[in-house]
């Protein structure tokens, strides 16, 4: 019987407020690879927890092949205050630097113990050109991470959340590939992900019409936690059971070519050979019914609910100036 972790994510409608762009870009670097600069806020964890974060960053660096345009963040006159991303980032230095390619600030601290608030993660700053993430935030409860490590689930959870920072689920709407947000027919229209669903994973029925179903929570059992934090930001659980970027992690959680190609739909160049074997279950089932529904209901007392992955909060232009995104 699989044990299940509930993962949450939320996105809202947005409008840009003010801001402008300039043709002056930061000086190019000689680096031609995608690099994640993982920076710890507060006390750096040790052992399996630290290893899980390092492994997730290394995995994503292996997946993404293109070096992104260097991004200026802040200036001497107006450095960027990271508490604008998350109040938990107190004590960090304001940013006035050129980022290549992605900086992730991670914090592990005592919050409220096992099984309550696990934490949250997501992009904070995105590029005005290309729309990809410049700065992301991760914050987790130390007790929960230790518990996840003991259950053998830590690596999957950290990789899942780091992929949210890169853009899976959190940049779909901003990049214009999320259709019917909030409706029963919500889907991701990225053509590469949809093609991978059919051609690589046998999802001819699941991804008919050239789109990948996203989560809407309408066919999940009432005993399971599913709401605004899961809707629109994950693959649909009843269709893609077990794939890493659904809203619920099970015993085996492969990272599929479909998810890698969704990164390509966002603008990344990806190494498809890093994907894991995955087949779309046939036929799709309603999670609230049958053997799988009973299995998940039986495990519902062990669900670990994450805070909603953070949607991007600012766009940063070529001069390091930030423009807030207003959600409504």
The Cα 140–Cα 117 span in angstroms is 8
Rounded percentage of the chain residues whose pLDDT exceeds 70:
80
The Cα 32–Cα 279 span in angstroms is 33
8 has a pLDDT exceeding 80? no
Burial class (CB in 10 A: 0-12, 13-18, 19+), 27: exposed
* Alpha-helical runs (H) found in 16-153: 47-63, 142-150
27 has a pLDDT exceeding 90? no
DSSP symbol at 88: G
Q: Give the contacts of 153 (CB within 8 A, at least 6 positions apart).
A: 3, 5, 249
pLDDT digit string, tens, across residues 154-186: 999 999 999 999 999 999 999 999 999 989 999
pLDDT of amino acid 270? 98
Contacts 24+ apart (CB under 8 A), 38-41: 38/104, 38/106, 39/103, 39/104, 39/105, 39/106, 40/105, 40/106, 40/107, 41/88, 41/89, 41/91, 41/92, 41/105, 41/106, 41/107
Q: Give the contacts of 198 (CB within 8 A, at least 6 positions apart).
A: 204, 207, 208
Who has greater pLDDT, 81 or 299?
81
Among the residue ranges 81-95, 99-113, 208-222, 298-312, the one predicted with the least confidence is: 298-312
- Mean model confidence pLDDT for the chain: 84
Q: Which two tokens stand for residue 18?
A: 């003010």
Inter-CA distances, 296 with 118, 224, 225, 299, Å: 20, 8, 11, 5
289 has a pLDDT exceeding 50? no
pLDDT digit string, tens, across residues 306-318: 556 789 999 999 9
DSSP states along 137-203: EEEEEHHHHHHHHHTT-HHHHHHHHHHHHHTTTTSTTTTT-EESTTSTT-EE--HHHHHHHHHTT--
Longest dimension (CA), the chain: 61
pLDDT class for 244, splitting at 50, 70, 90?
very high
pLDDT of amino acid 30? 56
Burial class (CB in 10 A: 0-12, 13-18, 19+), 256: buried
Global pTM value:
0.88
């Amino acid at each position: 019987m699989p044990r299940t972790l509930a993962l949450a994510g939320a996105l809202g409608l947005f409008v840009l407020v003010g801001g402008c762009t300039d043709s002056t870009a930061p000086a190019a670097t000689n680096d031609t690879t995608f690099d994640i600069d993982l920076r710890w806020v507060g006390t750096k964890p040790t052992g399996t927890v630290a290893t899980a974060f390092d492994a997730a960053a290394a995995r994503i660096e292996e997946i993404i092949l293109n070096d992104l345009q260097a991004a200026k963040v802040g200036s001497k006159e107006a450095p960027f205050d990271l508490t604008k991303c998350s109040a938990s980032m107190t004590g960090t230095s304001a940013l006035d630097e050129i980022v290549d390619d992605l900086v992730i600030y991670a914090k592990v601290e005592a919050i409220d113990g096992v099984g309550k608030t696990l934490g949250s993660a997501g992009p904070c700053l995105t590029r005005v050109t290309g729309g990809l993430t410049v700065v992301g935030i991760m914050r987790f409860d130390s007790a929960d991470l230790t518990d996840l490590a003991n259950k053998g689930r830590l690596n999957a959870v950290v990789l899942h959340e780091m992929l949210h920072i890169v853009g899976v689920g959190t940049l779909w709407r901003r990049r214009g590939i999320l259709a019917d947000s909030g409706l029963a027919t919500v889907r991701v229209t990225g053509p590469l992900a949809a093609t991978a669903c059919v051609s690589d994973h046998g999802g001819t029925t699941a991804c008919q019409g050239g789109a990948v179903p996203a989560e809407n929570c309408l066919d999940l059992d009432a005993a399971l936690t599913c709401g605004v934090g899961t809707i629109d930001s994950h693959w649909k659980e009843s269709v893609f059971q077990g794939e890493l970027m659904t809203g619920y992690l099970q015993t085996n959680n492969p990272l599929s070519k479909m998810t890698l190609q969704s990164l390509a739909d966002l603008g990344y160049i990806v190494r498809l050979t890093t994907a894991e074997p995955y087949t779309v279950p046939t036929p799709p089932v309603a999670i609230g019914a049958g053997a799988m529904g009973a299995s998940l209901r039986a495990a519902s007392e062990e669900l670990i609910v994450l805070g909603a992955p953070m949607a991007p909060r600012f766009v940063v232009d070529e001069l390091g100036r930030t423009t807030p995104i207003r959600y409504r």
